[in-house]
Amino acid sequence: MLAEHARSGPDAGVPTCPAWTADKLLAHQAMVHRWAAANVRGEGSRPPITQTRILAEVPDLRGYLREGAEALVSAITGADDDLRAMTFLDDAPPPRRFWARRQAHETTIHAVDALAAALGRVPTAAEAGLPVELAADGIDELLRGFVPRGTKTSPLYGGEMFAFAVRPSDAVANWTVRVGDGPLVTTRGAAGEVDAELTGTAAQLYLGLWNRGAEIVESGEREILRRFADVRVRW
């Protein structure tokens, strides 16, 4: 999907990642696919080639992207279920499943970035065309894996304790998130009273929470999305 959307010019801006051009986006994803495949194959955790080298040395970025994606799929499908490999999120599944899931969402989000570059604006969830199951799983990974990790205090904390719910209109899954002066705690399902709710389709919530959309409906006593815009997801 990323290569299909990557039809803008090489220097086209990426509205959802303003620091990047379309070619920088492709080079980044091509690098990440190779880095992930190397982890699955047990070849070390350093990227085998940098994004800078890809931009300088690779004449056909789209072909190079497809080649790396195919190698990643081969590495994951060929790995044993009991694969031993590095993982880096809270509540991570076993390594083989972890890398399949992480790269599915990495590639999906950057495909939305490529679509934004082609459109010249942030796409709608309908334009992105994401399956409900994929979007719901991506919300789960973000809320239970990325946001709680590595901090004694949640980046959403602003001096007051509160809870909010994330409730897709088209999926069974929903989440309750509690923010306080310790690590953020996310629970699947309803878990007591909340101060705010984020609603929309699973795709709208997925894209909005990843700062790739603006279709989430927010209600309640706390401004969650304003805080979420400041959350920076890193490895």
pLDDT one-digit tens code per residue, 99-157: 999 999 999 999 999 999 999 999 999 999 999 999 999 999 999 999 888 677 787 88
Mean pLDDT of 155-169: 91
pLDDT band per the 50, 70, 90 thresholds, residue 219: very high
Min mean pLDDT across 82-86, 161-165, 220-224 is at: 220-224
Better pLDDT: 20 or 6: 20
Residue 45: its pLDDT value, please? 73
Residue 3: its pLDDT value, please? 62
Q: How far is Cα 25 from Cα 6, in angstroms, rounded to an integer?
A: 9
Mean pLDDT of 3-22: 81
Residue 151: its pLDDT value, please? 73
Alpha-carbon Rg for the chain in angstroms: 18
Better pLDDT: 173 or 46: 173
Residue 9: its pLDDT value, please? 72
Mean pLDDT of 30-51: 91
pLDDT over 90 at 37, yes or no: yes
pLDDT over 90 at 175, yes or no: yes
pLDDT over 80 at 1, yes or no: no
What does the block give as tokens for 82?
């009991």
pLDDT one-digit tens code per residue, 56-106: 999 999 999 999 999 999 999 999 999 999 999 988 899 999 999 999 999
Residue 133: its pLDDT value, please? 98
Report yes or no on whether pTM surpasses 0.85. yes
